[in-house]
Amino acid sequence: MTTLTATIPLAKSKAGQRLRRRFLIGRVLSYAALAIAVLLVLFPIYWMIITSLKLPREIYRVPSLWPKTFTLDNYQKILSDGQFLVAIRNSLIVSFTVTIISVIISSFAAYSMVRFRYRFRGFVGRLILFAYLTPSSLLFIPLSIVMAQLHLGNSLFGLIMVYLTFSLPLSTWLLQGYFKGVPREVEEQGLIDGLSRIGVLFRIVLPLSAPGIAAVAIFTFTGAWNELLLALVLITSESQRTAPLALNYLITSDVLPWGPLMAGAVISSLPLMILYFVAQRFMVAGLADGSVKG
């Protein structure tokens, strides 16, 4: 009896040691995986910044992780004529306009598909999904012909209209999921209190879906900011170029000016970094407000 009593704590102690060992191994493996993921994500950004600060002779010789001489000549080259700043301005105009219009229209479309019942609603929803899944590489020739016939080629307005054809399906599809998460009881209470459907959308549904709207705005802005193929087909004037297009035209024949290219990439990344920083705080605030209201 005494031997059995002494064996039980010993077994428990060994089992506890095995559990602690497995827990420590799991944490070490998790942190190692996270470290590798962070390295894979951050290393290209680090390489871009470091390359933009190198002299040409250091860029084209054996690659190094740290420049011997830091220089801002690459930034001076790309900013000297002012055309790249014009391209940044054009990208800001196009991206903000596409984002605002897309969020407004898709909010109405998604809410109608979630809350209203009408004929062919499911068919329209599938069409929206198919439109989102259609690759832009299949449509740039028909779109360029349509824009030319409408006399909207080589203009920021035409580029905005083309981008909306791709951003609206995605925004509508994403917002449907967020609007479905808003309880019907809250909307019915608003209708009882005298709100119209538009009032319910703007005063109840949209505030409760603020994180979703922020996510949709981020996706839309990022897609419009980084798009190159359609801009390359539709824009021919230097004054109408967007930032990715301006970077693309830095490449002449087989010459790759890596220094100015990386400097331009760093500059064009700054608006996105600022947007993600601000939107992250907004999304956290929206989640907190929604939890309190719910």
Q: What is the pLDDT of residues 160-173, one digit of tens each?
A: 999 998 888 888 88
What pLDDT sits at residue 294?
41
Q: Which residue has the tokens 């996105």?
A: 272
User: Which two structure tokens, joined as six digits, stand for 113?
Assistant: 């598909």
Q: Which residue has the tokens 């791709």?
A: 166
- Residue 218: which of 136, 158, 277, 132 has the closest Cα? 277
What pLDDT sits at residue 292?
38
Cα 283 from Cα 280, distance rounded (Å): 5
Residue ranges for the chain with pLDDT beneath 50? 1, 4, 285-294
**CA distances for 76 relative to 4, 85, 260, 263, angstroms:** 81, 12, 9, 9
User: Which two structure tokens, joined as six digits, stand for 131?
Assistant: 């439109």
**Tens digits of residue pLDDT in 270-292:** 988 888 887 776 655 444 444 33
What pLDDT sits at residue 205?
84
56-67 burial, b at 16+ Cβ within 10 Å, e below that, comes to: eebbeeeeeeee
User: Which two structure tokens, joined as six digits, stand for 100?
Assistant: 């605002």
Polymer length of the chain = 294
Query: Phi and psi (nearest 5°) for 252?
Result: -120, 120
252: β partners? 255
Which amino acid does the sequence have at 87? Answer: A
For the chain, state the CA radius of gyration: 27
**CA distances for 149 relative to 19, 143, 145, angstroms:** 71, 10, 6
What pLDDT sits at residue 243?
92
As to burial, measured by CB atoms within 10 angstroms (0-12 exposed, 13-18 middle, 19+ buried), residue 147 is: buried
